[in-house]
Amino acid sequence: LRRSTSYFILAVMCPSLSSAASYTDSSDDETSPRDKQQKNSKGSSDFCVKNIKQAEFGRREIEIAEQEMPALMALRKRAQGEKPLAGAKIVGCTHITAQTAVLMETLGALGAQCRWAACNIYSTLNEVAAALAESGFPVFAWKGESEDDFWWCIDRCVNVEGWQPNMILDDGGDLTHWIYKKYPNMFKKIKGIVEESVTGVHRLYQLSKAGKLCVPAMNVNDSVTKQKFDNLYCCRESILDGLKRTTDMMFGGKQVVVCGYGEVGKGCCAALKAMGSIVYVTEIDPICALQACMDGFRLVKLNEVIRQVDIVITCTGNKNVVTREHLDRMKNSCIVCNMGHSNTEIDVASLRTPELTWERVRSQVDHVIWPDGKRIVLLAEGRLLNLSCSTVPTFVLSITATTQALALIELYNAPEGRYKQDVYLLPKKMDEYVASLHLPTFDAHLTELTDEQAKYLGLNKNGPFKPNYYRCWLGAACSSLGGGGGGDTAAYICACVRISSKLSV
Amino acid sequence: LRRSTSYFILAVMCPSLSSAASYTDSSDDETSPRDKQQKNSKGSSDFCVKNIKQAEFGRREIEIAEQEMPALMALRKRAQGEKPLAGAKIVGCTHITAQTAVLMETLGALGAQCRWAACNIYSTLNEVAAALAESGFPVFAWKGESEDDFWWCIDRCVNVEGWQPNMILDDGGDLTHWIYKKYPNMFKKIKGIVEESVTGVHRLYQLSKAGKLCVPAMNVNDSVTKQKFDNLYCCRESILDGLKRTTDMMFGGKQVVVCGYGEVGKGCCAALKAMGSIVYVTEIDPICALQACMDGFRLVKLNEVIRQVDIVITCTGNKNVVTREHLDRMKNSCIVCNMGHSNTEIDVASLRTPELTWERVRSQVDHVIWPDGKRIVLLAEGRLLNLSCSTVPTFVLSITATTQALALIELYNAPEGRYKQDVYLLPKKMDEYVASLHLPTFDAHLTELTDEQAKYLGLNKNGPFKPNYYRCWLGAACSSLGGGGGGDTAAYICACVRISSKLSV
Amino acid sequence: LRRSTSYFILAVMCPSLSSAASYTDSSDDETSPRDKQQKNSKGSSDFCVKNIKQAEFGRREIEIAEQEMPALMALRKRAQGEKPLAGAKIVGCTHITAQTAVLMETLGALGAQCRWAACNIYSTLNEVAAALAESGFPVFAWKGESEDDFWWCIDRCVNVEGWQPNMILDDGGDLTHWIYKKYPNMFKKIKGIVEESVTGVHRLYQLSKAGKLCVPAMNVNDSVTKQKFDNLYCCRESILDGLKRTTDMMFGGKQVVVCGYGEVGKGCCAALKAMGSIVYVTEIDPICALQACMDGFRLVKLNEVIRQVDIVITCTGNKNVVTREHLDRMKNSCIVCNMGHSNTEIDVASLRTPELTWERVRSQVDHVIWPDGKRIVLLAEGRLLNLSCSTVPTFVLSITATTQALALIELYNAPEGRYKQDVYLLPKKMDEYVASLHLPTFDAHLTELTDEQAKYLGLNKNGPFKPNYYRCWLGAACSSLGGGGGGDTAAYICACVRISSKLSV
Amino acid sequence: LRRSTSYFILAVMCPSLSSAASYTDSSDDETSPRDKQQKNSKGSSDFCVKNIKQAEFGRREIEIAEQEMPALMALRKRAQGEKPLAGAKIVGCTHITAQTAVLMETLGALGAQCRWAACNIYSTLNEVAAALAESGFPVFAWKGESEDDFWWCIDRCVNVEGWQPNMILDDGGDLTHWIYKKYPNMFKKIKGIVEESVTGVHRLYQLSKAGKLCVPAMNVNDSVTKQKFDNLYCCRESILDGLKRTTDMMFGGKQVVVCGYGEVGKGCCAALKAMGSIVYVTEIDPICALQACMDGFRLVKLNEVIRQVDIVITCTGNKNVVTREHLDRMKNSCIVCNMGHSNTEIDVASLRTPELTWERVRSQVDHVIWPDGKRIVLLAEGRLLNLSCSTVPTFVLSITATTQALALIELYNAPEGRYKQDVYLLPKKMDEYVASLHLPTFDAHLTELTDEQAKYLGLNKNGPFKPNYYRCWLGAACSSLGGGGGGDTAAYICACVRISSKLSV
């Protein structure tokens, strides 16, 4: 059921993110939240969370997150005058974390009413949910929902008397799916859908292809700013973090092979090179291959180096990049992990054979032991290392949340006709706006064009500075992560060029 | 007249490229080549060069160049079986250097007949022209042509009895222009134009816009491989080379401001940071600005740092980025130079005032002296530093020449209907082929997709691995170099997306 | 009492190192090990550990560590023929971890008998101690000793009937101190002391100065190989790891000031620069300052940047480098931490005032909150970040352990007269030997001098390749870490020059 | 005769340094300066230069140099009050360049009288010599002296009626040698010798060893600041510059092997890695080898990679590191060059065999051609690349010149007994002073110790901050450059430890 591809899943696995949990778990009872009678301090009981008494702990987490989400706080400030979301009734289904709470409270400050469920049965931070409920948000989510709970929570968000949503914020497409299935008439009032995840976007494009998408949808997953941060910059740091937290290894002098030289691969290679590793690259695309050469990496076939490397990292979006045959030939103690999009890059299934022994040595770390005693160190069972074994900086989440907020504002306020029943990317100008809202974090000062210069360049002084198709600049990333631009996967990426056109590539 | 934007112009200015000249100049007489009677050793006099006796010197230069142009040599090898240019009659107008000679002789090996003129009145290497003439190429070019000579040479290439070109290879558009003006009927037999320069491409798009383009044209300037090498990789090296050759400065510890963080700016920043300079960046586009931040550069307005920096480098494509006011505030000995596309980035004209003294201290280096004794070190009078003060590695020229050769092959062999009377980019697959031909130089081994993987990714095993629009990935480059994607300049870049569509952005 | 300066202390604080603990704690009872009757499977009860039944868990940890300590394993292999420690009776007092276990079992394989106590009341890994006891090592140590327990354990190691130590391996000097105080006659049979820690070395030099050192002692703390790894290479990685594990922050674009540009500062600066941070440096020594400039860092006074930076890192060895005044001026959310030797670099005491609120947000992370709401993020209360908040790679511990083993071998086998009653550094050649034992880890192939070359250089083909004083090359490190070479601290470092001379600088 | 090891030799070979020559050569006649009657504008004829009329050109070069030698200019400013060299009569023998002129005029400003000859028969810049003569310095030097001229000029400096030197500034030891041989009594009045070159220092140590050194001598070649700049920082830039100027090659993707990982090797490796080359390292010393590993370079034997690399760079100080056998196995177009101290690192002599053809393709670039057509590109015939093919930044020369000036001041003003008849290194504090004088160039702000901190560290607030032996920190450099610290070469480097002791290692 849960194909969640979004970052928040890590909250489930990574103790550091759910640090708050520690002081609350002990007080938790076994009663299902659905069976509890809870009220917040203002007397409302329009919510369902684990324990409303944890609100104070959650509030502190939210306050800390606020400090690192300056863009949303800036939007709130601007909202003191105008309320761009006045009248908006937003139903949301996302991971429920401190960062989401900052987003929700920002939407509230911009004038919206919100109702919220969790998009993952494990990822809710109970105390954050409690804090939101306490401050008046109808939140229906807790950590450890059953599948039945999951849909019950979603239903409680949309199936309300006297309240009908006019905007959807979704992460994974389950909320959208539920409304399509149960309350199709609701779409008459809905102005648009904002979708965050690869999976959800994929579903929307399929709807569009089938002619069934009946409102405009905004794909925020593929905005330039978000993509660049999710891939190059975030991976540059998380590859180191993920390897350290799981193995405590020293990077200096280690031989590493990185499969795939898209944005993710580029980030991994740059970081490891900087830490003194010797990095080899494999590629299928001669253009990326030539870039790897010029950046100082030896381009090899995996077979050529598999016996000598200390670490194998996949970031291709492809399947079976590391096969059992490769695994058989690796040297003792070789570390194998995946930074790419797909869980199939390493053929982990091939290791589930009787002659190999699996030994779980730490959370997320397995030793797979060959009959001759050779051990391979497999991280996160081949799932995404950075989601499983490191944390995502709030700064990256801030970019995502700001993009979501702006997409909601755009769809809600767009004059009729601007968007049709199709899947759109955030207009370039708003993407630039997200970026500009994050510059003050770095005390960065943007230069303004003079009138004369703007005229010379044929640009508006306030942007957009790049044409809409500029996002294909991310092609490098999708080629490695999204499958080289082929097939259906590529189809909706193509949409970045033929914005809002039907999919007929 | 000569707006030549191509690299070879440097041959005029940079002694190291025209090294061969030294042993020939002394023997040169003052007679115009047009007035000379010369024959090559086979008795042909269908050429006009400075001195056919210099052929041997030129041959050595060509042989050296051959060693660094493996892709063309590989094409020649393949041509032993098939002659993809059999029957092609190519008229060319480019800089005439050893690298061009390798290209011409490759075209010959592929089956083509060629006639050639120079696209620049200064850039011809006389001994190379002689070597080509000696081996039977009708070449009409010498260093130091008059404007009249220039057009006479072009005319001698096309206006031949019993020979009519069916392909054009142009660099700057003058040859194309001449045929349009003088021999429009010739286009009936012409299968296509391959154009190398920004200027020439611009002219073609104007023709297309005006509905006057009567054959397909291939814009090889904007191919991914060429662009990436011309900008990021080449500039990363040439910024250091250009500064060293002109000023012998030490980079370590120097404070530098780089205006513009497109591909060129990124290359300059990376190189200087690696050499121990402290680099500041200015940008107008928040997305590029955020990238600069994440790459570790302080983003400032020029005014904030202008008093303290040791070097100012422009790479914006914009005009008046460095104004007289900035120049007035720079500290003594500050070096100012331009790596961007336009000659107008530094307002050099504003320095031509009576109170300032200009002192030429070396070739390409001027001291501009303020009344109080302050000196600014201006390089190449604000023209492109890397063209004026460094050399272009043969490897980069090899990529360009291979792209030209493949574009000629493609246009010549394309089935009727594939290309209309419009401006095209090199198909992605051929761009990838250019890249793959250069991989052996690095002993780089490309991985091949398995059948299963190709199916999974929805790709052909031999590529293309990226969709055609992938080249917009160069958006970053054009935004800095080509003017931010705005106006007419942007128009034909947009064409990379809507390939072969009319220009109506 | 416990001044422990050694790395293992982190085992106490850092959950990832003591991961094994999780599955054993629950079974632990409250009975003091001193009151338990335990026997290993061979019937011996000459040990005192928490729970001998945990031996199997500990054995697995030891086996994993063996894989990353190739140098000790190589020594074992060589020991199959010769037993360089045959007859050695070593009493040891160190942290008891898997890596120590590998060392102890190596000493055993080399022929030595060992008895061991812990040098820290918290750092013992109980299951490792159990595994050692099970395989016959008389180990007296558990996690959570009282001070009385601590000395009781040490005494049980040395006060044995029919067994008298002839070698001491100490970490902190407590074991040495105990023997001096309680059993001074024992020194008659003792051939030498090997001391690992700064504190212990300091005590030895004081003994030497006072004329009371009655056996040779080897200072392994200051060997070149160990120092270079403990400082430059290890800190390059642990600064990133320590910051990530505590704060999950993103490095890209962050402004950081690093106080001190010795080896530790160099490592921190290089790593953060590589991750895209903007780094400022403060220094007192103009030579280090000039190096910082040439390496591309702006050299500032702390006051100049204190208001703007996101992170402050001290690595000076000095005191009060970050004062309350600096802390008052930092911006909200500024992170403050210490990578240097001393705990006094940040004036943490000055933050213990009534108007400031301390809030512990995670293990090792405090928010100090000003009346206006400003929060400073203080890591590890100003103690060493890399010891408190990151792990030390086994590879670094391997270098330390190998150095200790070689020092024991050298002192035990040295012909009479080679070493007097003084403090020595490991001979250069043995330092080189430690390095060479670690090269195979990197598949690194050393070049051998030809006879002719050795003669030309005046070197023995097998080294030493550098003169003994070469270790002062670490001067840069000690200047930052050890106090700039002044005072008593410097005194014994000076000894690296005047090896084995009295301290009279 | 001329073993000159100093940088200035490049002036002979490198057109950019002797740029001024161009506008003067044409006016030069063939008359020997010794036969000319010349007077400066004040009527003095106590000099002998090529052409006094070139003084104005030389003055401009000197003025430009002054701008980049801030430390000497700062010394001049201070000299307005005190004249630390009042009464000093300095005889000098160095390269005569603009930078030397700035030094000489600074010595004059500090109170000294100077007489000067050239230490190299080719390196004198005639117009600079003229400018010095014009402003009253008795200079005896011109470009293209015969050997007889050379000694005649030196003699004219010392053999003067009514003037006897009391200080010697030498570069190579010829002046010192001449006085020893011809005017040994002169040493009675001489307070000291300052020697700049490796060769000269070697000669002084031999004198010292033989008991014949009769005055104190200061070895400024081995000062920390000078060494660090001459090696690590300068080579980091000059390896790129030297390769570019000679070959115009692209660094990206090239495979390079660097022999030797001392300071020079470290600089070369870092620079090439940063430019995208793939770098291999060879080493004989396991400690340097381990550093190479940790810095991310594969450590290999030359044989393992010799067939595949594009560039071979030697920086070992050793002989026959690259043998004919290696050269035979290199691939076509492989570039071979030397950055180390010795000219014997590449066995160039072995290439002088009949079956190989040498072809000079550019200045400093030879193609050596094998019978099968394979070409090796040999740079500078195996001599030091950075001296032959790149320029030395004035900043580096500024450090050298300042060190010389301070050494002269120290020796001249030292109280009797501080220095005996031995070879000394510049006191640490003065070395730090040289560094501090260069910090303002970088707008670098040094932190001052508080009284409390100075006390804590046991340091004087004004330094020295490192003990005198600190300079052995350069051991890494000398191991690569000076022959691994062995034999006679090492002997005088050892002196850095046992300062002013006799050589008996």
Phi and psi dihedrals of B241, rounded to 5? -65, -45
Q: CB-hemisphere CA count at 13 Å for A146?
A: 6
B237 to D245: CB separation less than 8 angstroms, yes or no: no
Q: Computed from CA positions of residues A381, A382, A383, A384, in that sequence, does the dihedral angle turn out positive or negative?
A: positive
- To the nearest 10 degrees (0 to 180), the angle between helices D428-438 and D70-78 is 110
List chain C pLDDT tens, one digit each, 505 residues. 333 333 333 333 333 333 333 334 444 567 899 999 999 999 999 999 999 999 999 998 898 889 889 899 999 998 778 899 999 999 999 999 999 999 999 999 999 999 999 998 888 999 999 999 999 999 999 999 999 999 999 999 999 999 999 999 999 999 999 999 999 999 999 999 999 988 899 899 989 989 999 999 999 988 888 888 888 888 999 999 999 989 888 999 999 999 999 989 999 999 999 999 999 999 999 999 999 999 999 999 999 999 999 999 999 989 999 999 999 999 999 999 999 876 789 999 999 999 999 999 888 899 999 999 999 999 999 988 877 777 778 888 899 999 999 999 999 999 988 999 999 988 888 899 999 999 999 999 999 999 999 998 888 888 888 754 433 322 222 222 222 322 222 222 222 222 222 222 2
Given the structure tokens 């009514």, which residue do they identify?
Answer: D162
Nearest to D249 among B248, B393, B443 (CB): B393
Same fold, A33-222+393-428 and A233-382: yes
pLDDT tops 80 at residue A63: yes
CB < 8 Å to C250, chain A? 233-234, 237, 393, 395-396
Asked whether residue A477 carries a pLDDT value surpassing 60, the answer given is: no
Distance CA C493, CA B217 (A): 74
Question: Is A487's CB within 8 Å of B457's CB?
Answer: yes
**Token pair in block for residue D295:** 């810095």
Nearest C-alpha neighbor of C429 from the set C193, C223, C219: C223
Query: D335-360: per-residue pLDDT in tens?
Result: 999 998 767 899 999 999 999 999 99
pLDDT at A467: 58
Q: Which among D253, D296, D298 has the least Cβ separation from residue A273?
A: D296
* pLDDT at position D15 over 70: no
CA–CA separation, A465 vs A480, rounded Å?
27
pLDDT of residue C64: 83
Nearest-by-Cβ selection for C277 from B275, B278, B296: B296
Which residue in A253, A392, A442 is closest to C442 by CB distance? Answer: A253
Task: Specify the pLDDT at position D485.
Answer: 29
Residue A490: pLDDT band (50, 70, 90) is very low
Record the tokens describing residue A167, joined without a space: 């905007």
- B255: chain D residues, CB-CB within 8 Å: 442-443
Q: Is C266 annotated as a binding residue?
A: yes
For residue A226, what pLDDT band results from cuts at 50, 70 and 90?
confident
Averaged pLDDT, A208-230: 89
In terms of pLDDT, which residue wins out, B206 or A469? B206
Q: CB distance A431–B457 less than 8 Å?
A: no
Mean pLDDT of chain D: 85
Q: How far is C62 from chain B (nearest CA, A)?
A: 40
Contact D284 C473 (CB under 8 A): no
Cα nearest neighbour of B276 on chain C: C296
Q: What is the pLDDT of residue B482?
A: 29
A225 assigned ligand-binding residue:
no
> Concatenated DSSP letters for A447-493?
PPPPHHHHHHHT--TT---S-GGGGGGGHHHHHHHS-TT-HHHHHHH
Smallest Cβ–Cβ distance between B67 and the set D250, D254, D332 belongs to D332
The reply to whether B262 sits in an annotated binding site is yes
What CATH number matches the domain at D33-222+393-428, 3.30.499.10, 3.40.50.1860, 1.10.1740.10, 3.40.50.1480?
Answer: 3.40.50.1480
pLDDT above 50 (res A158): yes
Q: What is the block-wise mean pLDDT of chain B (505 residues), using blocks of 10 residues? A: 32 33 49 93 96 93 87 89 93 95 97 96 92 97 94 97 96 95 95 92 90 94 84 90 91 96 94 97 95 96 97 94 98 94 88 96 91 95 82 84 95 92 90 93 93 88 68 28 28 27 23
Min Cα separation D187/chain C (Å): 34
Which residues, other chains included, contact C490 with Cβ-Cβ below 8 Å and sequence gap of 6+?
Answer: C478, C482, C483, C484, C505, D458, D467
For the domain made up of B233-382, give the CATH fold.
Answer: Rossmann fold (3.40.50)
Residue ranges of the annotated binding site of D for NAD(+) are: 262-267, 283, 386
C448 carries a ligand binding annotation: no
Annotated binding residue A35: no
Do the interacting molecules here have an ipTM over 0.85?
A: no
- pLDDT tens-digit readout, D233-273: 889 999 999 999 898 889 999 999 999 999 899 999 999 99
Task: Output the six-digit token pair for D192.
Answer: 């000291």
Number of Cβ within 10 Å of residue C234's Cβ equals 25
Best of A280, A321, A445 to substitute, by most chain B Cβ atoms within 10 angstroms, is A445
Q: Which of C107, C161, C338 is CA-nearest to residue C239? A: C338
User: Distances from the Cα of C114 to the Cαs of C73, C80, C167, in angstroms?
Assistant: 18, 18, 9
The answer to whether the Cβ–Cβ distance between D276 and A298 falls below 8 Å is no
> Which amino acid makes up residue B80?
Q
- Per-domain residue ranges for chain C? 33-222+393-428, 233-382
Say what percent of chain A tops pLDDT 70: 86
Rounded to a whole number, what is the distance in angstroms from the first to the last CA of chain C?
29
C250/A17 CB distance under 8 A: no
Question: Nearest C-alpha of chain D: how many angstroms from A226?
Answer: 28
Q: Which two tokens stand for residue C96?
A: 């008891």
Structure tokens at B166: 């069916």
Is residue C162 part of an annotated ligand binding site? no
D426-to-B196, D109, D429 alpha-carbon distances in Å: 60, 22, 8
Task: Tell me which chain A residue has its CA closest to the CA of residue D290.
Answer: A253
**Contacts C278 to B, Cβ<8 Å:** 296-298
Higher-scoring residue by pLDDT: A491, D114: D114
The binding site of D for substrate consists of: 97, 171, 196, 226, 230
Distance (Å, whole) CA A124 – CA A121: 7
- Per the listing, tokens 């949340």 go with A401
- Quick one: pLDDT at residue A128? 96
* Cβ atoms < 10 Å from Cβ of B179: 24
Q: For A108-122, what is each residue's pLDDT tens digit?
A: 999 999 999 999 888
Mean pLDDT throughout A438-455? 93
Of D463, D472, D474, the residue nearest D434 (C-alpha): D463
- Chain B residues with CB under 8 Å of A228 CB are 287, 290-291
* Per-residue model confidence as pLDDT tens digits over A272-331: 999 999 999 999 999 999 999 999 999 999 999 999 999 999 999 899 999 999 999 999
Instruction: Flag if A233 and C255 touch (Cβ within 8 Å).
Output: no
Taking contacts as CB-CB distances below 8 angstroms, the residues of chain A near B477 are none
Compare all CA atoms of chain B with the CA of D359 and give the residue at the minimum distance: B60
Q: If 0-12 CB within 10 Å is exposed, 13-18 middle and 19+ buried, where does residue B100 land?
A: buried
Beta-carbon separation of C299 and D446 below 8 A: yes
β pairing state of C375-379 and C365-369: antiparallel
User: For chain A, what is the total number of helices (H) and then of strands (E)?
Assistant: 21, 15
